[in-house]
């Protein structure tokens, strides 16, 4: 069973966080929602005032238990991630074969700031794109860098495509399509999902 860590912090973007958690669980993946609250609390208030409750705190997790680490965006949530040395070290020292995924502000505010996946192709929210080097930056809505096992995306409006891409690369395209079907995605979104199909490295 694949196990995924989805981090949340005070000020995380709730559409992104909830969409990621929901879609991964629809795919019957095991998800731990992990609080990065500096005060050690499990309940956080997201960027628009929605209250989210984590399963556990970062202090209580074992990084090697997870096949993927996911960072929703939003401010100040991404800044909380950026300033948490424990989380930053976990991201820098991720194991071979472990996936990393980030959306919205997180690729720029967290990954670019700390030079994590500094050779990878990535995207982020348009408001933060100047923080990513021109060599790395892509304008695609969802960017999969297979060599770095990194998946990034742009914001709340791309959260569903992003989440389905996580399912695809953790499991397979057929599972992602079967998760998408009962969600009644518009035809253009289904086509976009199919365009994201990529072969995993051997």
Question: Residues 74, 45: contact at Cβ < 8 Å?
Answer: no
Handedness of CA 34, 39, 43, 48 (dihedral sign): negative
Mapped to the 3 state alphabet, what secondary structure does the chain carry? CCEEEEEECCCCCHHHHHHHHHHHHHCCCEEEEEECCCCCCCEEECCCCCEEECCEEHHHCCHHHCCEEEECCCCCHHHHHHHCHHHHHHHHCCCCCCEEEEECCHHHHHHHCCCCCCCCCECCCHHHHHHCCCCCECCCCEEEECCCCEEEECCHHHHHHHHHHHHHHHCCHHHHHHHHHHHCCCHHHHHHHHHCCCCCCC
Catalytic residue (one of 37, 56, 104, 124): 104
Give, rounded to a whole angstrom, the gap between the first and last alpha carbons of the chain. 20
56 is catalytic: no
Residues with active-site annotation: 104
């Amino acid at each position: 069973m694949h196990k995924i860590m989805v981090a949340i912090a005070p000020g995380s973007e709730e559409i992104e966080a909830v969409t990621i958690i929901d879609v991964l669980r629809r795919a019957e993946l095991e998800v731990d929602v992990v609080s990065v609250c500096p005060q050690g609390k499990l309940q956080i208030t997201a960027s628009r005032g929605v209250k989210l409750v984590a399963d556990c705190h970062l202090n209580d997790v074992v990084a090697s238990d997870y096949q993927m680490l996911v960072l929703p965006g939003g401010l100040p949530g991404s800044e909380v991630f950026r300033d948490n040395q424990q989380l930053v070290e976990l991201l820098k020292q991720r194991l071979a074969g472990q996936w990393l995924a980030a959306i919205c502000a997180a690729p720029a505010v967290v990954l670019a700031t700390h030079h994590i996946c500094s050779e990878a192709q990535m995207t982020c929210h348009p408001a933060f794109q100047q923080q990513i080097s021109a060599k790395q930056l892509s304008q695609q809505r969802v960017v999969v860098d297979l060599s770095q096992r990194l998946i990034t995306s742009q914001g709340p409006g791309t959260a569903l495509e992003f989440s389905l891409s996580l399912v695809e690369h953790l499991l397979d395209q057929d599972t992602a399509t079967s998760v998408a079907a009962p969600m009644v995605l518009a035809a253009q979104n289904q086509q976009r999902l199919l365009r994201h199909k990529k072969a995993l490295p051997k």
